[in-house]
């Protein structure tokens, strides 16, 4: 995967995480249903009441269908785009939160491992427990005090990895 930024010298990518698939697939399926059902109902009514044979109602229905499906296709595309481009990376030097809402927008926050003071995992709810996803909140010494990774798979394993890397980074800086 091409990262939206260059790694620093000596920096190695250890893990890349994004929100669990339960955040995206139900919304994509719901959006597809919301986009298709009205079109199917419209065309069923057009055929049922013999409006499809008349030019004006047929062209109105075609125009409405194109606009409606175009709207939902664009909406679903950008929802999936945001999901694919909302990533959290853990390297041997820092944690990075990178988000792109659209092609011309990039928001990125980083926290050096040595600046992480406290980490907590929140995993509550039936689905979160069954599918093992949750949130990690990092308290940092930087200007932005809270650093949150929301809805990531296996948050306890990510927390344990970051804790180990943080301890290693602190031991290296003390030397």
- Range with the lowest mean pLDDT among 12-26, 49-63, 109-123, 135-149? 135-149
Q: In the CATH scheme, what is the code of domain 13-19+87-174?
A: 2.30.29
Give the mean model confidence (pLDDT) for residues 149-172.
Answer: 87
111-152: pLDDT as tens digits: 888 888 888 999 989 988 999 999 988 888 766 667 788 888
Q: What pLDDT does residue 31 have? A: 95
111-122: pLDDT as tens digits: 888 888 888 999
pTM (two decimals): 0.76
Structural domain boundaries of the chain?
Answer: 13-19+87-174, 25-82
DSSP for the chain?
A: ---SSPPPTT--EEEEEE--GGGTHHHHHHHHHHHHHHHHHHHHHHHHTT-TTSHHHHHHHHHHHHHHHHHHHHHHHHHHHHHHTEEEEEESSEEEEEE-SSTT--EEEEEEGGGEEEEEEE--SHHHHHHTEEEEEEEESSSS-EEEEEEEESHHHHHHHHHHHHHHHHHHHH-
């Amino acid at each position: 995967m091409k990262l939206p930024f260059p790694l620093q010298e000596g920096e190695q990518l250890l893990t890349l995480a994004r929100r669990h698939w339960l955040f995206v697939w139900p919304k994509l399926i719901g959006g597809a249903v919301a986009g298709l059902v009205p079109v199917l109902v419209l065309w069923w009514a057009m055929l049922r009441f013999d409006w499809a044979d008349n030019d004006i109602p047929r062209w109105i229905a075609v125009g409405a269908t194109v606009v409606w499906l175009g709207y939902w296709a664009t909406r679903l595309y950008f929802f999936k785009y945001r999901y694919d481009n909302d990533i959290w990376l853990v390297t041997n030097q820092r944690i990075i939160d990178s988000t792109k809402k659209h092609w011309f927008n990039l928001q990125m926050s980083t926290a050096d491992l040595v600046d992480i003071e406290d980490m907590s995992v929140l995993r509550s709810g039936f689905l979160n427990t069954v599918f093992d996803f949750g949130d990690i909140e990092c308290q940092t010494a930087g200007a932005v005090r809270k650093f949150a990774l929301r809805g990531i798979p296996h948050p306890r394993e990510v927390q344990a990895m970051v804790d180990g890397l943080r301890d290693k980074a602190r031991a290296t800086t003390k030397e």
